[in-house]
Amino acid sequence: MRTSVVIVGAGPAGLLLGQLLLKAGVDNIILEQRSAEYVLGRIRAGVLEQGAVRMLEEAGVGARMHALGHEHGGFDLLFDGQRHRIDLKGLTGTSVMVYGQTEVTHDLMDARAATGGVTVYEAEDVSIHDFDGTAPKVRYRKDGQTHEIDCDFIAGCDGFHGVCRKSVPEKSIKNFERVYPFGWLGVLVDQPPLHHELIYANHERGFALCSQRSLTRSRYYVQVPLSEKVEDWSDERFYDELRSRLDPEAAANLKTGPSLEKSIAPLRSFVAEPLRFGRLFLAGDAAHIVPPTGAKGLNLAASDVHYLSTGLIEHYRKGDSRELDAYSHKALARIWKAERFSWWMTSILHRFPDAGDFGHRIQQADLEYLVSSKAAMTSLAENYIGLPY
Ligand code: FAS
Ligand code: PHB
């Protein structure tokens, strides 16, 4: 079997890249280790930058997003019992789109099926070979048969735990990492959101986030120690903890119901450098991880795919590989700015066990300055809506 590009991973990065390449006439095959149902069952991101919205429109999957998604012109920061609105639209002229990653993935899967793109789900033991040469290969097993695909390029879109980054020789890659001493316990529930916009709360008991997927489905998070087990958290215990971290009005508006999904996600900052190894390119969570506080994970996958798809398309269309050669440098420049913003949002909104009294006072001063300064709020807003590609 042969194709131009083998994409490993059918998450948002892989599916978006595959769709953009197909639309440009660059054939590709996606190999995904899980079933489509499993991929769709993962509950993850909820906020799209305008850049990601444009990428999805370019991929031909904007219609359902605009029909079901919701533009948000701001969000609230809650601390010391007071809510402060960050007016994204007023400060930057731009808003964000609240539309769940599950729906993005659903739309991209449907579009790929409609354009006849080949996705091999439940592909086992994917391995990548000879990517330091000019004739890379990818092998996988399916229904007991071993298959081999010859290709020109491999796109490693297989997430943090994928095989592609781990296939790069240690001497050729440098990893940068910070692991946070807490996680996010998240709940999805079919109840209307308690507020029309998101609320990020810094409370002495810990961070909380009130988000949403639609006018009838809400997504809530509370910061928990890494020692916590999701099975120790009944819905009632979760809602009580969430209420305790909110202001009275928000707490009174909380509508509870049986959780559709409940999980604890660890938080880490991670970047691999470079993002290119011969004919192998890393994109999305395979290349970097951000704490979800700044809502950047899915959005960084979109900008990586913008740079990589541009490079691949120009290579095939014009025989011009300059954008492909610039991929790692361009993507990393934007990645590190989003890493900084996500680290900063995490540092001012979470309670760190080792912060001490001085650390709490600095965090308090950070928050008070932030909501008192148009310049500071504009800086937050510019990063939250997404820096330019
Ligand atoms: P993904 O991890 O989504 O997709 C990688 C795909 O590769 C998966 O389908 C996997 O099954 C497949 N794969 C892995 N190894 C393979 C192999 N060896 N062979 C074949 N396939 C393989 N971001 C936000 O912005 N907001 C959030 O609230 C948020 N919450 C998150 C919660 C959790 C628990 C996690 C893990 C991430 C969260 N993120 C969030 C980040 C998340 O949305 C990612 O940024 C986004 O999924 C990135 O997409 P991909 O790069 O496609 O990676
Ligand atoms: C979500 O809705 O899952 C979400 C929204 C904003 C964030 C993180 C997660 O910053």
Sign of CA dihedral 63, 65, 68, 71: negative
Q: How far is CA 163 from CA 31, 120, 130, 167, 220, in A?
A: 12, 16, 14, 6, 31
Rounded CA gap, 221 and 206, in Å? 11
Is the distance from CB of 75 to CB of 197 less than 8 angstroms? yes
Q: pLDDT averaged over the chain?
A: 97
Q: Cβ contacts of residue 329 below 8 Å, gap of 6+?
A: none
Mutate which of 42, 43, 44, 47 to test ligand 2's pocket (most atoms within 8 Å of Cβ)? 47
| Average pLDDT for 140-166 | 98
Is the distance from CB of 183 to CB of 226 less than 8 angstroms? yes
Which tens digits make up the pLDDT trace of 278-316?
999 999 999 999 999 999 999 999 999 999 999 999 999
Strand spans (E) along 75-198: 75-79, 82-86, 96-98, 118-120, 124-129, 137-142, 145-150, 153-156, 174-189
Active site residue 220: no
Coil, strand, or helix at residue 151? Answer: coil
Cis status of the peptide bond prior to 136, with omega within 30 of 0? no
Active site residue 384: yes
Closest among 385, 379, 374 to 84, alpha carbons compared = 374
Active site residue 200: yes
| Ligand 2 touching residue 295 (CB < 6 A) | yes
The residue contributing the CA closest to ligand 1 atom 9 is: 11
Which one-letter amino acid corresponds to residue 333?
A: A
Gyration radius of the chain's alpha carbons: 21
**Domains identified in the chain and CATH numbers:** 5-46+100-177+268-345 (3.50.50.60), 180-267+352-363 (3.30.9.10)
**Structure confidence at residue 43 as a pLDDT band (50, 70, 90):** confident
For residue 189, the CA-to-ligand 2 centroid distance in Å is: 14
Ligand nearest to the CA of 16: 1
Q: Which atom of ligand 2 is nearest to the CA of 186?
A: 3
Torsion of CA 347, 327, 304, 2, to 10 degrees: -140
For residue 263, the CA-to-ligand 1 centroid distance in Å is: 15
Q: Which atom of ligand 1 is nearest to the CA of 13?
A: 52
Is the distance from CB of 154 to CB of 164 less than 8 angstroms? yes
Q: Which atom of ligand 2 is nearest to the CA of 98?
A: 2
Is the distance from CB of 14 to CB of 157 less than 8 angstroms? yes
Residues enclosing ligand 1, CB less than 6 A? 8-14, 31-34, 39, 44-46, 101, 123, 126, 157-159, 162-163, 265, 284-285, 292, 295-298, 301
The residue contributing the CA closest to ligand 2 atom 1 is: 46
| Average pLDDT for 171-179 | 98
Q: How far is CA 302 from CA 58, 156, 210, 334, in A?
A: 11, 14, 24, 11
Is the distance from CB of 309 to CB of 157 less than 8 angstroms? no
pTM comes to: 0.96
| Ligand 2 touching residue 291 (CB < 6 A) | no
Token duo for residue 102: 């599950």
Catalytic residue among 195, 203, 288, 296: 296
| Ligand 2 touching residue 43 (CB < 6 A) | no
Is the distance from CB of 366 to CB of 355 less than 8 angstroms? no
Active site residue 140: no
Rounded CA gap, 301 and 368, in Å? 32
pLDDT confidence of residue 268: 98
| β partners of residue 5 | 28, 153
Rounded CA gap, 47 and 69, in Å? 10
Is the distance from CB of 193 to CB of 48 less than 8 angstroms? no
The residue contributing the CA closest to ligand 2 atom 2 is: 46
Active site residue 296: yes
Strand spans (E) along the chain: 5-8, 28-31, 47-48, 70-72, 75-79, 82-86, 96-98, 118-120, 124-129, 137-142, 145-150, 153-156, 174-189, 199-203, 206-212, 218-224, 259-273, 276-277, 280-282, 288-289
Which tens digits make up the pLDDT trace of 369-383?
999 999 999 999 999
Coil, strand, or helix at residue 300? Answer: helix
Catalytic residue among 12, 72, 193, 203: 72
